[in-house]
Amino acid sequence: MIDFAFTENQLAVRDMARELAAKVIIPSIKDFDRAHRPNPDLLPAMKEANLLGFCIPEKYGGLGMDYISLGLACEELEYGDTAARVVLSVHIGLYSLPVLTWASETQKEKYLKPVATGDKIGAFGLTEPGAGSDVVGLQSTAVKDGNFYILNGEKMWISLADVADYHLAFAWTDLDKKRKRDHSGLSAFIVESDFEGVSTGPIHGKLGVRSGDTGWIAYQDVKVPVENLVYKEGEGFKIAMFCLDQGRYTVAAGSGGLIKACRDACIKYSFERKTFTHNIAEHQLVKQMIANMEAGYEYSTLLWQKAGWLKNQGLRSTRATSLAKWVACREAEEAAANAVQVFGAYGFSDEYPVERFYRNAKGASIYEGTREIHTLMQADYALGLRKDKQLEKDLPVVEQ
């Protein structure tokens, strides 16, 4: 049975993330967003607050918190700005949790512990210039040569690319299967950013998440030790899909925070702005837009919390996570568009935060599976054309 009451530990994480957003993110986000530059105080503040590994078990340097706590932290951080939530999505959802689940004990000691403490940063290297939703369209290759794999390829739209110490990178290890587009030829590796042949750079001119670190990673004849292969050769596609389950979950929870930010901004403004001698809070169509934000927040929250409950139980959550991500991102887009409408001409200016909410909301309907991908997934589940089997490995059960 799902219990809707948060535990003391969950509330403590929520409040910690809320306080960080209020003190570190919100006061300066306008300037960093305008400058298209990350806030240099963000990662140190998240490390100091133990947010960079709080849902990793204590034996690996984390705090052992549950996945509902992860969702609550994502919601509060995105209330401040999407770029802050992206850090948790990538560092924890797309790197740490997959390493925790699929990596060997030796790899966890070397590549999870320093990430859980925040001493090192992890990134996720799947998307390429010509491959996003079409994972088997990847062109990166890793050819075994003695005690190494020779890795070549380029990754694109990689969050934390310029600051990450480790990348969970995906490449073809079976070139015959690559030609046949057989995903069982894909493998996953942990790549250190200071390996010879690794280079990174920023992506400029983004519509949204402008204060986030987004870039590219190039691998040119990089010698990756065989011991950095994650799990087994040919298991990369399964690991990538597992990664996306965790990433989508954090995006869904974060979208709830963006909806809440839109709602709160509109409520405040509607009591300040007058038209025709009345506060616009008294206008029925303004009320309707705010009511829709409230409804969107409530059912988006219920969906991601259901997915989080499944994760806490160690149950497969792909369907629930996909639904939560799809719905929450859709509602966030609508809430942000309506927030701009409530603000009128001022919503078109970055003097107010809603234009930033509008730009940021768009990205979430693209990354971690486009809205079209999730639409098709949910249709296939409903039609009985898609069924999820239990994975060989899944997130560890967490006591709340």
Residue 136 in tokens? 């088997």
Contact 30, 350 (CB under 8 A): yes
The radius of gyration of the chain's CA atoms, rounded to the nearest angstrom, is: 21
Model confidence pLDDT, tens digit, residues 212-240: 999 999 999 999 999 999 999 999 999 99
Q: Any alpha helices (H) in the chain, and if so which ranges? A: 8-20, 29-35, 42-48, 67-80, 82-88, 97-102, 105-111, 113-116, 175-180, 236-272, 284-312, 318-343, 354-364, 371-383
Report yes or no on whether pTM surpasses 0.85.
yes
Q: Give tens-digit pLDDT for 42-91.
A: 999 999 999 999 999 999 999 999 999 999 999 999 999 999 999 999 99
Q: Distance between alpha carbon 239 and the CA centroid of its chain, in Å?
A: 16
Cα pseudo-dihedral 52, 255, 367, 223, rounded to 10: 0
SS (H, E, C) 133-166: CCHHHCCCEEEEECCEEEEEEEEEEEECCCCCCE
Euclidean distance between CA atoms 188 and 190, whole angstroms: 7
The bridge status of strand 166-172 relative to strand 122-125 is parallel
Domains of the chain by residue range:
8-116, 122-234, 238-383
pLDDT in tens, 370-389: 999 999 999 999 999 999 98
Position 394 pLDDT exceeds 90: no
Residue the block writes with tokens 């054309």? 385
Write the DSSP symbol of residue 332: H
pLDDT(201) > 90? yes
Query: Tokens representing 90?
Result: 């990538």
Q: What is the structure's pLDDT at 398?
A: 80
Percentage of the chain exceeding pLDDT 90:
95
Count of other CB atoms within 10 angstroms of residue 366: 15
Assess if CATH 1.10.540.10 describes domain 8-116. yes
At the second CATH level, the architecture of 238-383 is: Up-down Bundle (1.20)
- pLDDT tens-digit readout, 336-356: 999 999 999 999 999 999 999
Instruction: Give the whole-angstrom CA distance, residue 301 versus residue 311.
Output: 15
Residue with tokens 């935060």: 353
- The architecture of the domain spanning 122-234 is Beta Barrel (2.40)
* Catalytic sites, residue numbers: 368
Residue 196 has pLDDT above 90, yes or no: yes
